[in-house]
Amino acid sequence: MASEAASLGLVVNWQKTKVQALGCREDMPLTIKVQGQDVMVVEEFVYLGSLIHSTTGSTCDISRHSAITRAAMQSLENYIWRLWLATSTKLKLYNTCILAIFLYGSDCWVILKTDACRIDALNHWCLHMLLVSK
Does residue 8 lie in a domain region? no
Looking at the DSSP assignment, which residues form a beta bridge with residue 10?
A: none
CA distance 106 to 48: 12
One pLDDT digit (tens) per residue for the chain, 134 residues: 778 888 899 888 888 888 887 776 677 777 888 888 888 888 888 888 888 888 878 888 999 999 999 999 999 888 888 888 899 999 999 999 999 999 998 888 889 999 999 999 999 999 999 888 65
Does residue 2 lie in a domain region? no
In this structure, the answer to whether residues 69 and 79 fall within a common structural domain is: yes
Does residue 90 lie in a domain region? yes
CA distance 83 to 64: 28
In this structure, the answer to whether residues 51 and 71 fall within a common structural domain is: no
Q: What is the span of the domain harbouring residue 111?
A: 57-132
In this structure, the answer to whether residues 93 and 47 fall within a common structural domain is: no
CA distance 1 to 32: 15
When divided into structural domains, the chain yields a total of 2
Neighbours of 102 (CB within 10 A): 20
Instruction: For Cα atoms 107, 109, 110, give the angle at the middle one, nearest 5 degrees.
Output: 130
Its pTM stands at 0.75
